[in-house]
Structure 1
Amino acid sequence: MDILIRWLAAFLLLAATYNPTDFNYIRWALGNHEAQLSVVVLLGLLLTVGYIIFLRATLRSIGLFGMILIAAIFAALIWVLYDLGLLSLENPGVQTWLGILALSIVLGVGLSWSIVRRRLSGQADVDDVDA
């Protein structure tokens, strides 16, 4: 359940920033930056903090190679679904949602890797601790 919550948080962060609908930060900020600049900046900073937390944890846990590997596995899955005729990529909205899904999986796995590793190996990760 913890892994699902972390993935969902990553998905919501990415989808809140940009998605193919009109309900996202980028489109809202572009339309309201003159009238509500302070709110645009505040929300932009909050989203930036979210990205820093997710990216830092992901880079520390699985690294750049792990991120690329997870993205490649997701891309191969999309390729297989496309080749089997189970997925159409002609709609740009579907492509955008797939991109959001792929990135959220990478970030969700990165944030959850310690849990997965502990369950698979029985070994716990320990962060740097000042003595």
Structure 2
Amino acid sequence: MTGFLLRWIAAFALLSATYNPTRWNYLRWAESHWTSAMALIVLAGLLLLVGYIIYLRATLRSIGVLGMALVLAIVAALLWVLYDFGLIRLDNPGANTWIALLALATVLGTGLSWSHVRRRLSGQADMDDVDE
């Protein structure tokens, strides 16, 4: 469980560093400082891109597009239940952005952790394709 939590936190950090409803995110920083810090903005953007490639490639390899859609559907159903019970409200755009970041981090964290979960459940280890 600790491994999943760390992967989820890293996914959430990657997503929220890229964009969040506060002024402290890559997109707003890049937009406001493009002319004065172009080299640093490009470097930071490339580092974020590497993080996305690692997460997306691992997620697509482990659970695929259908698995990603299924995890997102489960998170959406959970949000629906929380909304029906009055535990969350959806009238605040900033809060909705944070909810979307949590949902996407759950998809990416699940994708990166799925091989470990499958190995624990089935007792079988996954092997990467050798001919790549």
Normalization by structure 1: what TM-score? 0.97
Residues 95-110 of structure 1 mapped to structure 2, 5 A cutoff: 95-110=96-111
The separation in 2 between residues aligned to 1:23 and 1:119, in whole angstroms, is 38
The answer for the alignment partner of 1:85 in structure 2 is 86
1:59 equivalent in alignment to 2:60: yes
Give the root-mean-square deviation of aligned CA atoms: 0.8
Question: How far apart are the structure 2 equivalents of 1:28 and 1:82?
Answer: 33
- CA distance in 2 between counterparts of 1:35 and 1:69 reads 43
Shift of 1:2: 1.1
Q: Bigger CA drift: 121-130 or 48-57?
A: 121-130
Q: Corresponding residue for 2:38?
A: 37
- Mapped partners of 1:49, 1:121: distance in 2: 31
Identity %: 65
Structure 1 alignment gaps of length 5 or more: none
Residue 9 of structure 1 is matched in structure 2 by 10
4+ residue runs over 6 A deviation:
none
Instruction: Give the aligned partner of residue 21 of structure 2.
Output: 20
Letter paired with 1:29: A
> Residue 127 of structure 2 aligns with which residue?
126
Partner of 1:71: helix, strand, or coil?
A: helix
**Which structure 2 residue ranges, 5 or more long, are not aligned?**
none
Aligned length: 130
In the alignment, the residues of structure 1 paired with residue 3 and residue 77 of structure 2 have an alpha-carbon distance, to the nearest angstrom, of 26
Deviation at 1:84, TM superposition (A): 1.0
